[in-house]
Structure 1
């Protein structure tokens, strides 16, 4: 009888583990493509869809396994309660562990680049390499060198401002802002559409939360090789940019020759060459 009880207990335990694996909810949608021993893990930027990596994946997924995220509440993905940079960072790391992904190369744009830095810093044994596409350890410090993160950051005013706008007002705001971020006119409508489809509460919360993030000290714990790709304008701020990154000893910096924040669209040939060299080295 004890033998059968033990078997039943083991079967029940296995069932629970299987159900948990199937039902565990992460704060992002993920698409897996490609085949290869090495894994590339793509994290899009603020209010962007994972589709921002389509052209990149088309080049690499024949040789690599690719995981592409779209964060909850962005670009039409169902929002989740209480989003935060810290929670998203932790859950991406958990996903990598839960799925036994060995030493992935994290490639993050904008806020996704910040998440890549934070994950590599907090889980240094988990990540193989990181590529940071036009992101800084502390965005707020670019305009305020004395900036310090608030321990209790109240994002409710920003959420109220975003949710109070009509759909037309919000869409018009995005149409005015996006030409400052992307030079490739053929991509403007697409990027605006991702923002417009984003949940307004998530938009306000994460805009406020990310602006309070300061990774300048934390990145000292990153051990893996790191490539930092920056838009062309930042060459004018090179000392300031590299001062922010001074604790990332493994960093290699490259500055685009043209274009704006969406480097993968504005200087695509150069960007893909940098990725290819770094990933395959």
Structure 2
């Protein structure tokens, strides 16, 4: 019964995949082997100036940031991440089931070893959760945070009354369902999901390809961790200003005011938080409304 419901309920909110577009004129970097989590991500840098770190979401390529990074590189040094097990970055075979928390430590280590001072962090989807956790656990390392279409507790998108205690059962069932799908079922579900995640039809085939290039177990483990992590009680620890950018479209089937209220209530414990809604967009705001999204980023960085 639950697995049938999960297909319907996750809808546009199920955080999967991204466009697989190569980043041009970028220098590839690896995390220093001296850091214990150096295998957890790869980084490309481009441009010069103040530092901006871009974190893609679940099963996403760094390519979702290509257009944004090209616009920023004349005035910023842009660090574009890709997480191990997603898209073209190899998975880690001996991972203990944790995906998000170790990456947070890896990014903190990267900021320290590269001597980056107060970078702006922009994270989409699961990358937004990582950005928030970085601000919670390492408040002195970040200058400002932008969270794109993500909540501090993902389960609220499925059940507004969810708690971290009752989320575990749902998370276990979802992880098992992802792992149990046949290759044909997995492809079919990726195609169905991406139609809800990207309004722009032209990008959908690449989105599906990126998801299918990702490691299934890494996806399943990340979804479980995402569904069982509730950062709301810890948001007050974040010192940096937070900008929440989120999508809305009439096809969601709910009033815009209801979506506005969900985001504001979810982030109510944060000290310095601002909200920007981008209409006529699905989950991949930077692909559906690139000009409006770039404008929101420019305002965020120039504050």
TM-score normalised by the chain length of structure 1: 0.86
Is 1:39–1:67's contact at 8 Å kept on the other side of the alignment?
yes
- The structure number with the bigger radius of gyration is 1
Match of 1:198 among 214, 230, 250: 214
Shift of 1:163: 3.3
Match of 1:207 among 217, 223, 226: 223
Match of 2:199 among 175, 178, 183: 183
- CA gap 1:197/1:229 in 2 versus in 1, 3 angstroms: same
In structure 1, C-alpha distance between the alignment counterparts of 2:109 and 2:259, rounded to whole Å: 35
- CA gap 1:28/1:34 in 2 versus in 1, 3 angstroms: same
The match for 1:173 is 189
Greater displacement, 99-108 / 82-91: 82-91
The match for 1:236 is 258
In structure 2, C-alpha distance between the alignment counterparts of 1:255 and 1:249, rounded to whole Å: 19
Within a 5 Å distance, the mapping from 1:40-79 to structure 2 comes to 40-79=52-91
Greater displacement, 167-176 / 191-200: 167-176
Is 1:149–1:214's contact at 8 Å kept on the other side of the alignment?
yes
In structure 2, C-alpha distance between the alignment counterparts of 1:23 and 1:240, rounded to whole Å: 37
1:122 aligns with 2:137: yes
How many residues of Structure 1 are paired with residues of Structure 2 in the alignment? 262
1:125 partner SS: coil
The match for 1:132 is 147
RMSD: 2.1
The match for 2:114 is 99
Shift of 1:126: 0.5
User: What residue ranges of structure 2 are gaps of 5+ in the alignment?
Assistant: 1-31, 250-255
TM-score normalised by the chain length of structure 2: 0.80
User: What residue ranges of structure 1 are gaps of 5+ in the alignment?
Assistant: 1-18
- CA gap 1:208/1:23 in 2 versus in 1, 3 angstroms: closer
